[in-house]
Amino acid sequence: MAAVGTVRIYRPDPALTEDQRQCGRATFAVRRLSSSRLAVAVVGDLDALNGRALGRYVEQHTGISRQLVLDLRAVDFVGTQAFTALYYISVHCARNDVDWIIVGSHPVRRLLSICDPDHELPLVASLVSGLARLDRLAQCRQHVPSAG
């Protein structure tokens, strides 16, 4: 008889709240900042080898979070495929009602200035200003009256 078990689909395994993964020349790490806020940090290079993996990594870990801090301050090199990954993350967050911010290094900010001239992705100037933005968004959500 086959073993029976639970398969997680788009929900993070509670054991993975402090997960770290090496992918190409980058390391992805996740950390829960609060019950509703998650931080994903990337160290190294984002390129064709790991751009898609970053999108999946974020998707894998944001299942129960309402807010995401994508910390790209330690990214040394960023290829154009990283923009595709960031757009994928944006769509994922919009579909799952997750507020998010990007804190980027100089290469990340340069890529977004070229590929996102209308500033549709939530790039913030600093971690402090980004956290304040997420706090304001959380307050707005608390004040929305229910439709019931």
CATH code of the domain containing 106 = 3.30.750.24
Q: How many domains does the chain have?
A: 1
Q: Does residue 77 lie in a domain region? A: yes
- Name which of 50, 8, 14 is nearest 32 in CA terms: 14
- pLDDT by residue for the chain (148 residues), tens digit each? 555 554 444 444 444 456 899 999 999 999 999 888 999 999 999 999 999 999 999 999 987 789 999 999 999 999 999 999 999 999 999 999 999 999 999 999 999 999 999 999 999 999 999 999 999 998 887 765 655 5
The model carries a pTM of 0.84
Q: Does residue 4 lie in a domain region? A: no
CA distance 127 to 105: 11
Q: Does residue 10 lie in a domain region? A: no
CA distance 38 to 55: 15
Residue 111 near residue 76, CB atoms below 8 Å = no
Residue that the structure tokens 């900010």 belong to: 109
Q: Domain limits at 46?
A: 24-142
Q: Does residue 54 lie in a domain region? A: yes
Residue 26 near residue 45, CB atoms below 8 Å = yes
Task: At 58, give phi and psi (nearest 5°).
Answer: -65, -45
Query: Residue 3: what pLDDT?
Result: 57
